[in-house]
Amino acid sequence: DETWGTALNRFIVQAILGLPITPYGKGGQTRGFIALEDSMQSLLLALAHPARAGEYRVFNQFDAAYSVNQLAETVAGIAREFGLSPTIEHPPDPRVEAEEHFYQPRHDHLAALGYRRSRELGDVVREIFRDLTRFRRRLEAKRAQVLPRTQWRAGAATAPRTE
């Protein structure tokens, strides 16, 4: 959905429905990503290599960072592979957040335990496209839920697109 759903899933659904892909604001927000299978791999590695007595460890469970714009461009490119004609529009950011920020968390601990990425972002996006395309009718019924509407900033409301 447009409020709590992940940007990647929302962008894919928007592309399948022929809606504009909508990274909020400038799209410079950056986040870490990891494929679900790789997330499981990292959990198993952490369990197989427990912390020593008294040791405190933090695993930032991601293997690559992407800006929201990079995600939108990736989804648009793969949508074209599926015969779609996506567009990208940047509605004002409804969130109270910096549109660009410093983001360089460490994620070398898992690699030191043997973690290796098994899938690239494009492969994951293609799989999601294949899965969701089969359920296009269900997605159509939820069309309004992926259109940007929610505003956390006072006075920033915009009318959602319905086409």
Residue spans per domain, the chain = 7-146
Give helix 121-133 / helix 68-81 axis angle, nearest 10°: 60
Of how many residues is the chain composed? Answer: 163
Residue 161 vs residue 31, higher pLDDT: 31
Cα–Cα distance list, 28 to 109, 137, 144 (Å)? 26, 32, 25
Q: How confident is the model at residue 3 (pLDDT cuts 50, 70, 90)?
A: low
In this predicted structure, what is the pLDDT of residue 13?
Answer: 95
pLDDT at position 142, please? 87
CATH architecture of residue range(s) 7-146: Alpha-Beta Complex (3.90)
- Closest by Cα among 11, 29, 95 to 65: 29
The label of the residue with tokens 């920033």 reads 156
Chain Cα centroid distance, residue 134: 20
Distance (Å, rounded) from C-alpha 3 to C-alpha 95?
10
Q: What is the per-residue pLDDT across 77-104, written as a single tens digit (0 to 9) for each?
A: 999 999 999 999 998 777 666 666 666 7
SS3 state of residue 30: strand
Task: Give the residue among 56, 25, 29 at the shortest CA–CA distance from 152.
Answer: 25
